[in-house]
Amino acid sequence: MKKQTLTMIAILTILSLALAACGNQPEATPAPAEIVSSSDVVAEGRLEPIQGANLSFQARGVVEQVLVSAGDTVSEGDVLVRLANAGGAEAQVVVAQNAYDVLLRNESSDRAKLWQAYMDAQIVRGKAENKWEDLNVDSIEDSIEDDKATIEDRQQDVADAQEDFDKYKDLDADNSKRKNAEDDLEQAQDDLNQAIRDLEDTMRDRDEVRAAYDAALGLEAEAKYQYEISLDGPNSDQLSLAKANLDAAKDTLSNYIITAPFGGTVADVNVKVGEQVTAETRVISIANFNTWVVETTDVTELEVVKISKGQTVTLIPDALSDLALSGTVTEISQAYTQQGGDILYTVRIAVAENDPRLKWGMTVEATFREVVQQ
């Protein structure tokens, strides 16, 4: 595409000069005009919003709330998605925030809030304690032992099936004995995998209740401590400690909720309520589509030396050939990448205009024009 564009420009320029030379009437010397030089650099790039982010949780969990949909406008700090296990962390933030506030304001009324937080923490602990005490732990642990024994049996089944398969593995794939042995091996492995999952499920029945109880005990102890230190009034050490506790609580909470890092538009929501997610799951994409930039993908070392910051660029999206945008070079990478033997540099271009048809990721042809005097 680059070579075809430059060739057409050169042909048109030559034809224009030839026609001018063939004229019979003498003409006045034309005023200096801008023409496109054959040394223009034509590159491809990707259209990106001025701000964009793919957001994920920092912890495993089950999605409890999805508070936005694609296309929604959000402000910085808005809660977008939260996990079901965020409640304990939010309560910890409330306790820590109350503790910090009371030290800052030094008002006796705030001690009542800390006292109430302590009482609320006792209620949470009591409920978690009841669930733990109502749980038949002995029965669960017996089931765990049974599941472990089953796993050992299934492991032996896999070993036996593998041994049988090895006898026939060199036979043709269509051989009935080989196929039967292979099917038996696959079934044995499936049975082993299911036994492992059954053990994990059984252990969760115990561990999740215990974890909630332990978290409630910690919350109650922290709430009690924050209330008690407020009785003596604030000092610098207490204030520093309270601020550190608040920051730590907020960091913990950030593992279980996703908030908007900047104001913008929700581009995509990739999860649903009830879905299990991990730190590797892309949950939501957000972007500021008010301003666009283009990042080139194929500017070579021979071309980058012809480009400078502040240079004017003409931008034409491949999908919108009737739309010509103007831009300005804002950044030229100092690092390079190598692709197919070419040394490539990324050039970042600020787009001056906007158009409702523009989409994140569109391919754009960027022409870095060199203006010469005729």
Contact of 296 with 44, CB cutoff 8 Å: yes
pLDDT at 20 over 60: no
340: left (phi over 0), alpha (psi -120 to 50) or beta: left
Percentage of the chain modeled with pLDDT above 70: 86
Query: Where is 224: in which H helix or E strand?
Result: helix 176-230
**Mean pLDDT for all residues in the chain:** 85
pLDDT (tens digit, 9 = 90+) per residue, 164-192? 999 888 888 888 889 999 999 999 999 99
pLDDT at 319: 96
pLDDT at 16: 53
More confident residue, 254 or 42: 42
DSSP designation for 172: -
What residue ranges define each of the domains in the chain, with the CATH number in brackets?
A: 2-52+287-373 (2.40.30.170), 55-83+257-285 (2.40.50.100), 107-232 (no CATH)
| 119 confidence band (pLDDT: 50, 70, 90) | very high
pLDDT at 107: 54
pLDDT at 9 over 80: no
Contact of 155 with 253, CB cutoff 8 Å: no
Contact of 246 with 130, CB cutoff 8 Å: no
**Coil, strand or helix: which one is 22?**
coil
pLDDT at 14 over 60: no
Contact of 45 with 296, CB cutoff 8 Å: yes
b/e code 5-39 from CB counts within 10 Å (16+ = b): ebeebeeeeeeeeeeeeeeeeeeeeeeeeebbeee
pLDDT at 29: 43
pTM recorded for the entire structure: 0.47
Per-residue tokens: 276: 């299990």
pLDDT at 78: 93
Which residue type sits at 12?
L
Q: What residues form DSSP beta bridges with 42?
A: 367
pLDDT (tens digit, 9 = 90+) per residue, 26-68? 444 443 444 445 578 999 999 999 999 999 988 888 998 999 9
Query: Where is 373: in which H helix or E strand?
Result: strand 371-373
pLDDT at 279: 85
Scanning the structure block, which residue is given the tokens 């749980």?
A: 135
d(CA 150, CA 193): 11
pLDDT (tens digit, 9 = 90+) per residue, 278-333? 888 999 999 999 999 999 999 999 999 999 999 999 999 999 999 999 999 999 99
d(CA 235, CA 242): 10
Contact of 316 with 5, CB cutoff 8 Å: no
Residue count (the chain): 374
Percentage of the chain modeled with pLDDT above 90: 57
pLDDT at 88: 79
Per-residue CA distances from 308 to 36, 99, 328, 336, 347 (Å): 17, 54, 10, 16, 9
pLDDT at 301: 94
**Coil, strand or helix: which one is 340?**
coil
363: left (phi over 0), alpha (psi -120 to 50) or beta: beta
pLDDT at 6: 44
What is the phi/psi pair of residue 139, to 5°? -65, -40
pLDDT at 49: 95
From first CA to last CA, the distance across the chain in angstroms is 26
| 10 confidence band (pLDDT: 50, 70, 90) | very low
| 234 confidence band (pLDDT: 50, 70, 90) | low
| 337 confidence band (pLDDT: 50, 70, 90) | very high
Query: Where is 291: in which H helix or E strand?
Result: strand 284-296
Full 3-state SS string of 254-266 = CCCEEECCCCEEE
pLDDT at 113 over 90: no
